[in-house]
């Protein structure tokens, strides 16, 4: 029966038309269950790129660890620098030995009592000449090897340093790419939150608007019936509760709808302030009038949007419901924008909630309330 008030407004018909207008006028908002992404983001591709770059970065950093030392040792050995260094050390030893032999021979000659001064001078000069000739040959060979060693060592050092620098630049580039992709993921999350907040604000505004109109209608009824006097709406509301009367008959339809969804707290659907208190009181009153409704969740029926239903299911997880209980409650619910059954959506939400590993974490990351 139409709810015609003193203002001649059929509120049931008004609510139906207003909700239909909201659906047709709002641009399609993004929800986590849709396959499209806000602001042109391709989430699947973005996650794949982040994983690929992270793997490359880990591999590049692993290759860079001890790279300089390892390559230096390889090039040092390949260029034969170890052998050259040994030859230099061997020549240093020969030079020292020759100098020792020379000095010892000259000393013996000078100590020979049978040698005259002229003989000592001649012998010493000859020993020194022959020994110095050999020593000088060793020194020339040693200096040549040292020059070769130093030149090759410098080439090896520069080559290994250049290779290491290239590896470090590769790591820096991968770090930059990873930071850029991570920033895109962060922007995606921010955009998603904005989309969801905007959708929630629009739905909340619609409910507030309809309830404000209902309040105006109720006041018009009371004025036309000559009731109410100078008392405020809050005083009249409190008086009806204290008298055991129905708190606000104009909210009965809304309260029954919330009860059919198993909701006792109107704030879960965006109601706030006095409206939430009045609805909660109306629900409590109706439950007292029908105690059988408190023993188990009421069977929900009718039609709704898939995104709205999914949010209801996620809220139910928080209250401790399991999939089988929800299937009993919502088994006959149908959807205006989906061909799926309520049981299929409940199973899908449960799979998302309980999925393990990185995939499960990412699946829940962008779903509010999971």
pLDDT of res. 214:
62
pLDDT of res. 12:
61
pLDDT of res. 38:
54
Note the CATH number of domain 44-189: 1.10.287
Which of 28, 342, 70, 349 shows the shortest CA–CA distance to 198? 28
Cβ 260 vs Cβ 298: under 8 Å: yes
pLDDT lower than 70: segments of the chain: 1-41, 199-233, 235, 269, 290-301, 358-370
Cβ 160 vs Cβ 75: under 8 Å: yes
For the question of whether the overall pTM of this predicted structure is more than 0.95, the answer is no
Query: Which residues does 355 contact at the CB level (< 8 Å), separation at least 6?
Result: 363, 364
Cβ 257 vs Cβ 207: under 8 Å: no
Q: In which residue are the tokens 């009421």 written?
A: 298
pLDDT of 73-132, one tens digit each? Answer: 999 999 999 999 999 999 999 999 989 999 999 898 889 898 888 888 998 899 989 989
Cβ 60 vs Cβ 174: under 8 Å: yes
pLDDT of res. 294:
44
pLDDT of res. 28:
47
Question: Could you give the CA distance from residue 267 to residue 277 in angstroms, rounded to a whole number?
Answer: 9
pLDDT of res. 76:
92
Cα–Cα distances (Å) from 134 to 94, 124, 140, in that order, read 10, 16, 10
pLDDT of res. 80:
93
Query: Which residues does 28 contact at the CB level (< 8 Å), separation at least 6?
Result: none
- Beta-bridge mates of residue 304: 335
Question: Could you give the CA distance from residue 145 to residue 84 in angstroms, rounded to a whole number?
Answer: 7
Which of 88, 91, 173 shows the shortest CA–CA distance to 138? 91
pLDDT of res. 41:
66
Cβ 192 vs Cβ 366: under 8 Å: yes
Question: Could you give the CA distance from residue 276 to residue 270 in angstroms, rounded to a whole number?
Answer: 9
Start and end residues for every CATH 1.10.287 domain found in the chain: 44-189
């Amino acid at each position: 029966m139409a709810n015609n008030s003193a203002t001649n407004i059929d509120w049931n018909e008004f609510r139906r038309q207003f909700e239909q207008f909201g659906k047709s006028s709002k641009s399609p908002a993004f929800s986590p269950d849709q396959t499209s992404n806000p602001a042109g983001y391709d989430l699947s591709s973005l996650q794949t790129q982040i994983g690929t770059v992270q793997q490359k970065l880990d591999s590049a950093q692993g290759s860079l660890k001890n790279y300089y030392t390892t390559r230096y040792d390889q090039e040092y050995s390949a260029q034969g620098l170890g052998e050259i260094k040994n030859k230099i050390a061997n020549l240093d030893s020969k030079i020292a030995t020759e100098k020792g032999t020379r000095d010892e021979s000259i000393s013996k000659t000078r100590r020979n009592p049978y040698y005259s001064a002229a003989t000592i001078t001649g012998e010493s000069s000859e020993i020194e000449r022959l020994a110095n000739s050999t020593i000088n040959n060793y020194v020339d060979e040693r200096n040549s090897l040292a020059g070769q060693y130093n030149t090759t060592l410098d080439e090896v050092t520069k080559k290994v340093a250049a290779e290491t620098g290239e590896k470090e630049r590769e790591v820096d580039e991968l770090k930059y790419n990873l930071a850029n992709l991570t920033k895109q993921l962060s922007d995606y999350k921010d955009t998603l939150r904005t989309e969801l907040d905007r959708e929630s604000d629009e739905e909340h505004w619609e409910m507030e608007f309809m309830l404000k109109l209902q309040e105006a209608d109720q006041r018009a009824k009371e004025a036309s019936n000559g009731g109410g006097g100078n008392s405020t709406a809050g005083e009249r509301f409190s008086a009806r509760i204290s008298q055991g009367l129905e708190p606000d008959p104009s909210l009965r339809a809304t309260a029954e709808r919330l009860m059919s969804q198993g909701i006792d707290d109107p704030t879960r659907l965006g109601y706030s302030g006095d409206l939430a208190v009045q609805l909660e009181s109306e629900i409590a009153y109706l439950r007292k009038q029908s105690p059988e409704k408190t023993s188990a969740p009421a069977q929900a029926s009718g039609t709704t949007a898939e995104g709205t239903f999914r949010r209801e299911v996620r809220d139910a997880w928080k209250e401790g419901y399991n999939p089988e209980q929800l299937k009993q409650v919502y088994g006959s619910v149908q959807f205006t924008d989906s061909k799926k059954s309520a049981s299929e959506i409940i199973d899908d939400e449960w799979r998302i909630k309980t999925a393990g590993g990185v995939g499960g974490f990412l699946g829940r990351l962008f779903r509010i309330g999971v």
